[in-house]
């Protein structure tokens, strides 16, 4: 029996609404997790995150292991205390970062040897160490160490990565000692449906608290992406939460929810905010645009976030042109509020059995049908 029960409360087709219980509180699903790689969501305080609607956020094991160090975070009573965040945290194990720094890493069946991208120092990461680091961080939901491959990899390479991912996942299970930390297995398999199905079936038969789908949206065709997601979902237990890693356009969220995904994360809303791109019910807008110069309206007239209640497009444009940090903060508050309102609306639609019409209504308001892709 899982110490972290998940309950599906309503379904509408494959879309579902549920609640995930963690040591730091409940997470209504579907849910979007802002990315706080180094233990902070850029420009925002914990209070601002909560006010924007954040119920759970993501931090990264690889980066926190290197700086400031998991042992130090542990001595400071964990990531929640350090961040002053009293809601759930999920930590990625660092598999993606290791792959993205492939020139600095060497993978074998036991683990990964790599050099820090910060100072070139040598390190050795194993499944057991990945779990220990996440326990020191005090995360609520930990991810198993996995190996992902480029979508251009051939099938034998992808199969080898699946075999390692499965072996490492079982080692992570054996290594876990904290009853306060949930552990998710990660489905890999590149763009090969049979490998995805096999990985999901093996993980699904093990006592993980939930499952993630990783290694996607890395350059493969959209059809390959969603086929991999659908194949994974078909072979995972319905009674446990499913998390789609690193995919987070508004369209991705709606596509994933429609297929039965419960959790999402992406840097898109926060990164775009700092670049002056805001998500609105009518599509994306560039707050730097000359058309905003004398626009007295809020970024999104239908939005109730702090930014839209108090500031105009013209003022935000001024802040960006003068590179005032307040502009980055206000835009980030708005974009995260938009994302949380989008998934909250989807959750309500599942309860009322109207997800299809909700999606049609949301997408029908986008001025450019490609604007939020």
265 in catalytic set: yes
Catalytic residue among 12, 92, 252, 255: 92
Look-up of token digits 């792959």: 99
Q: Are the C-beta atoms of residues 284 and 249 closer than 8 Å to each other?
A: no
Q: Which listed residue (140, 209, 252, 265) is catalytic?
A: 265
Token pair of 215 as six digits: 């290694």
What b-and-e string marks burial along 53-66, b requiring 16 or more CB atoms within 10 Å of the CB? bbbbbbbbbbbbbb
Judge whether 108 counts as a catalytic residue.
no
235-239 contacts, C-beta under 8 A, 24 or more apart: 235/196, 235/197, 235/200, 235/201, 235/204, 236/187, 236/200, 236/203, 236/204, 236/211, 237/204, 237/211, 238/8, 239/6, 239/8
363 by DSSP, 3-state: which? helix
Task: Please check whether residue 137 is in contact with residue 151, taking contact to mean a CB–CB distance below 8 angstroms.
Answer: no
**Smallest Cα–Cα separation from 345: which of 334, 333, 359, 332?**
359
Residues in contact with 311: Cβ distance below 8 Å, sequence separation at least 6, in sequence order:
298, 299, 330
The Cα–Cα gap between 8 and 11 comes to 8
Cβ atoms within 10 Å of 289's Cβ, excluding its own: 12
- 252/373 Cα distance (integer angstroms): 7
Distance between CA atoms of 104 and 167, rounded to whole angstroms?
23
Active site residues: 92, 265
């Amino acid at each position: 029996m899982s110490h972290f029960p998940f309950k599906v409360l309503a379904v509408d087709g494959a879309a579902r609404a549920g609640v995930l219980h963690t040591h730091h509180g409940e997470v209504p699903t579907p849910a979007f997790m802002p990315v706080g790689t180094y233990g902070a969501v850029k420009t925002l305080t914990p209070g601002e995150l909560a006010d924007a609607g954040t119920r759970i956020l993501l931090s990264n094991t690889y980066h926190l292991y290197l700086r400031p160090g998991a042992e130090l975070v542990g001595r400071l009573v964990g990531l929640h205390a350090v961040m002053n965040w009293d809601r759930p945290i999920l930590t990625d194990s660092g598999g993606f970062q290791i792959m993205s720094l492939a020139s600095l890493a060497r993978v074998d069946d036991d683990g990964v040897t790599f050099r820090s991208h910060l100072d070139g120092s040598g390190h050795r990461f194993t499944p057991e160490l990945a779990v220990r680091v996440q326990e020191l961080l005090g995360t609520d939901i930990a991810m198993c160490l996995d190996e992902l491959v480029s979508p251009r990899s051939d099938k034998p390479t992808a199969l080898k990565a699946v075999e390692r991912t499965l072996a490492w996942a079982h080692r992570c299970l054996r290594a876990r000692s904290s009853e306060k930390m949930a552990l998710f297995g990660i489905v890999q398999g590149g763009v090969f449906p049979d490998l995805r199905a096999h990985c999901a079936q093996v993980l699904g038969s093990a006592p993980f608290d939930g499952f993630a789908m990783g290694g996607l949206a890395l350059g493969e065709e959209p059809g390959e992406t969603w086929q991999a997601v659908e194949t994974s979902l078909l072979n995972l237990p319905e009674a446990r939460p499913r998390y789609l890693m690193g995919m987070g356009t508004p369209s991705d969220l709606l596509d994933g929810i429609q297929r039965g995904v419960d959790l999402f994360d992406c840097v898109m809303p926060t990164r775009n905010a700092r670049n002056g791109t805001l998500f609105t019910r009518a599509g994306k807008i560039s707050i730097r645009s000359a058309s905003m110069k004398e626009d007295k309206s809020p970024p999104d007239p239908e939005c109730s976030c702090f930014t839209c209640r108090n500031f105009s497009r013209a003022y935000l444009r001024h802040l960006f042109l003068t590179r005032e940090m307040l502009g980055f903060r206000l835009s980030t508050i708005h974009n995260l509020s938009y994302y949380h309102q989008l998934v909250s609306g989807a959750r309500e639609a599942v309860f009322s059995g109207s997800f299809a019409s909700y999606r049609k209504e949301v997408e029908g308001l986008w001025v450019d049908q490609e604007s939020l892709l």
